[in-house]
């Protein structure tokens, strides 16, 4: 394997580089920030740390030469047209993505897609080994690269290998459908430490190893023993977060506030501005949200210009059929609602299919009275954390699905089950109508949580866990107490929420 001139003690491998190469119609090349939560989080983690980032530059064909951006060494990996279709759009986003998200749409299985996945994972692993210094820390990310840990271990037994799962890890009953389940588990078990968003995700992984590979497990570790490889691999929860300080500073800039005011004015200064921000993905529950909002419009409980709903839908995976169909469906529904309920100068739903710079996103969050985060399943959902971070004024209200990782941390949100359209409508109305004083109390508590658990803390916790795996990192008594308290609060919040929902349901069912 060729040895690169440059080698690093920290190497990140993720499907995408933090920037995508875009070639305009005039042939001119430019770079723009890649979509998604992974890049948002890792970009701030890598700022100020010396390291290399191995990833795809977002276009089929030859890879650009390695380059340095924001002090980070970027090592592009090439994908051919066929590999984009089979490894990225196919196996990653039409096989694994649905299985890992509760099979909201059916998964597609093709043996040649897996062959491409194997080949691309090997290419990533070789690129990692080329830039990793002796004894380096290698941090692999997400479902696109689950075979990389084992290949890196085989090529470079001297390095320490961690993997973080940005999306949910499915229950064994769903994971078992995957014809290549054994290869995926064995690929991941090449790591020393595996990090997940929720405790349930880590437990699902450990259970899959026990039930599908017959490996011994104890607590959060799995024992792997082959002739020359006898180890314990630890899997635990380490929920991701955002750059609280950096984003809050953007929100506090006077130009951001001014832009937030302009946004409200241009929408006719509504009494309540509701906002959704998502990649246009069927996991995000955008259709359920629009259905609930449409019924509220029909019932006259909301109406423009008093209430305006802005939906930002970032273009995503547009060549995958399920995504094309989703776009068609959502845009049709938005058109119908606007035709029936908009007035001149006051849209019922303002739909934006674009990507925006960070400051514009912060202005949108500042302008929004209610943010609707209603995924059917989501690893974390950074939009929820970004919203509370931007609300340094303690204004606003967050409607949050209980099927997000964020639900386990942001206990003071207006919690919803997006499948329950009637319940979702009531929750949206509660978020609109709850007195400001109470909403400020809720927002203050959520902001405290995100401030104390920002992305830097997530990265340190992951790297600490990786360093000492399979042992657990030592925690100070104070830290342990805070974690225990949070776990208790999580259980209490869930129990309270479900008890409240059960009470409301039985009150409705009992005739008076």
Whole-number minimum distance, CB 298 to ligand ADP, in Å?
28
Whole-number minimum distance, CB 492 to ligand ADP, in Å?
26
Closest CB to ligand ADP among 44 and 137? 44
Binding site for ligand F6P (CB under 6 A): 15-16, 35-39, 142, 166-167, 316-317
361 binds, among ligand ADP, ligand F6P, none (CB under 5 to 8 A by kind): ligand ADP
Residue found under tokens 């984003």: 247
439 binds, among ligand ADP, ligand F6P, none (CB under 5 to 8 A by kind): none
222 binds, among ligand F6P, ligand ADP, none (CB under 5 to 8 A by kind): none
Closest CB to ligand ADP among 109 and 356? 356
The beta strands (E) that lie in 267-396 are given as 272-279, 307-314, 349-352, 370-373
Closest CB to ligand ADP among 350 and 381? 381
Sign of torsion, CA 93 98 101 105? Answer: positive
Whole-number minimum distance, CB 42 to ligand ADP, in Å?
11
3-class state of residue 29 by DSSP: strand
Question: What tokens appear for 267 in the block?
Answer: 């929408």
Closest CB to ligand F6P among 94 and 402? 94
418 binds, among ligand F6P, ligand ADP, none (CB under 5 to 8 A by kind): none
Closest CB to ligand ADP among 8 and 244? 244
Short-list 437, 383, 450, CA closest to 411: 450
Distance set, CA 74 to CA 45, 50, 54, 66, 344 (Å): 15, 11, 6, 6, 49
Query: Residue of minimal CB distance from ligand F6P?
Result: 36
Closest CB to ligand F6P among 320 and 368? 320
317 binds, among ligand F6P, ligand ADP, none (CB under 5 to 8 A by kind): ligand F6P
Closest CB to ligand ADP among 354 and 512? 354
Find out whether 6 and 50 touch, Cβ atoms under 8 Å: no
16 binds, among ligand F6P, ligand ADP, none (CB under 5 to 8 A by kind): ligand F6P
**How many CB atoms neighbour CB 172 within 10 A?**
18
Binding site for ligand ADP (CB under 6 A): 36-37, 40, 277, 279, 312, 314, 354-356, 361, 380-383, 386
111 binds, among ligand F6P, ligand ADP, none (CB under 5 to 8 A by kind): none
Question: What tokens appear for 505 in the block?
Answer: 């349901």
Query: Residue of minimal CB distance from ligand ADP?
Result: 37
Distance set, CA 83 to CA 86, 92, 207, 444, 453 (Å): 5, 11, 32, 47, 37
Whole-number minimum distance, CB 381 to ligand ADP, in Å?
5
Distance CA 1, CA 182 (A): 28
Which phi and psi angles does 350 have, rounded to 5°? Answer: -100, 115
Q: What size, in residues, is the chain?
A: 512
Whole-number minimum distance, CB 283 to ligand ADP, in Å?
7
Whole-number minimum distance, CB 222 to ligand ADP, in Å?
27
> CA dihedral in degrees (211, 468, 381, 222; nearest 10)?
0
Which DSSP string corresponds to 302-333?
S-TTTEEEEEEEE---TTSHHHHHHHHHHHHH
Whole-number minimum distance, CB 88 to ligand F6P, in Å?
7
């Amino acid at each position: 394997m060729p040895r690169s001139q440059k080698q690093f003690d920290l190497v990140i491998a993720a499907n995408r580089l933090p920037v995508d190469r875009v070639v305009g119609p005039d042939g001119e090349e430019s770079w723009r920030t890649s979509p998604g939560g992974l890049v948002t989080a890792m970009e701030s983690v890598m700022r100020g740390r010396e390291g290399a980032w191995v990833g795809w530059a977002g276009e089929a064909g030859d890879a650009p030469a390695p380059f340095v951006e924001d002090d980070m060494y970027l090592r592009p990996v090439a994908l051919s047209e066929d590999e984009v279709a089979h490894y990225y759009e196919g196996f990653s986003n039409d096989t694994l993505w649905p299985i890992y998200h509760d099979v909201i749409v059916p998964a597609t299985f093709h043996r040649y897609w897996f062959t491409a996945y194997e080949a691309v994972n090997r290419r990533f692993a070789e690129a990692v080994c080329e830039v990793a210094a002796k004894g380096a820390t290698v941090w692999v990310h997400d479902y696109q690269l689950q075979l990389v840990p084992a290949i890196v271990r085989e090529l470079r037994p001297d390095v320490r290998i961690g993997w973080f799962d940005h999306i949910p890890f499915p229950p064994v009953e769903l994971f078992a459908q995957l014809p290549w389940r054994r290869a995926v588990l064995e690929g991941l078990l090449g790591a020393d430490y595996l990090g997940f968003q929720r405790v349930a995700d880590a437990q699902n992984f450990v259970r899959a190893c026990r039930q599908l590979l017959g490996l011994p497990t104890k607590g959060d570790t799995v024992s792997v023993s082959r002739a020359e490889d006898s180890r314990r691999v630890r899997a635990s929860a380490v929920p991701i977060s955002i750059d609280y300080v950096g984003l809050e500073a953007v929100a506090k800039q006077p130009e951001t506030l001014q832009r937030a005011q302009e946004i409200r004015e241009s929408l006719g200064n509504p009494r309540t501005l509701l906002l959704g921000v998502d990649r246009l993905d069927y996991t995000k529950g955008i259709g359920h949200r629009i259905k609930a909002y449409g019924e509220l419009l029909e019932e006259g409980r909301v109406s423009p210009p008093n209430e305006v709903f802005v939906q930002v839908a970032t273009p995503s995976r547009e060549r995958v059929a399920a995504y094309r169909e989703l776009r068609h469906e959502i845009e049709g529904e938005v058109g119908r609602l606007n035709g029936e309920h908009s007035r001149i100068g006051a849209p019922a739903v303002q739909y934006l299919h674009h990507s925006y710079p960070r400051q514009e996103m912060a202005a949108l969050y500042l302008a929004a009275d209610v943010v609707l985060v209603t995924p059917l399943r989501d690893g974390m959902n950074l939009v929820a954390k970004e919203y509370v971070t931007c609300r340094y004024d303690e204004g606003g209200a967050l409607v949050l699905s209980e099927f997000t990782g964020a639900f386990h941390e942001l206990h003071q949100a207006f919690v919803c089950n997006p499948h329950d359209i009637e319940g979702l409508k009531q929750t949206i109305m509660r978020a609109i109508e709850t007195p400001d004083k109470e909403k400020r109390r809720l927002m203050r508590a959520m902001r405290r949580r995100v401030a104390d658990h920002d992305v830097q803390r997530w990265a340190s916790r992951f790297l600490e866990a990786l360093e000492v795996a399979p042992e657990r990192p030592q925690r100070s008594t104070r830290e342990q107490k805070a974690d225990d308290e949070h776990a208790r609060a999580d259980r209490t919040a869930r129990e309270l929420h479900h008890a409240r929902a059960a009470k409301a349901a039985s009150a409705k069912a009992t005739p008076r």
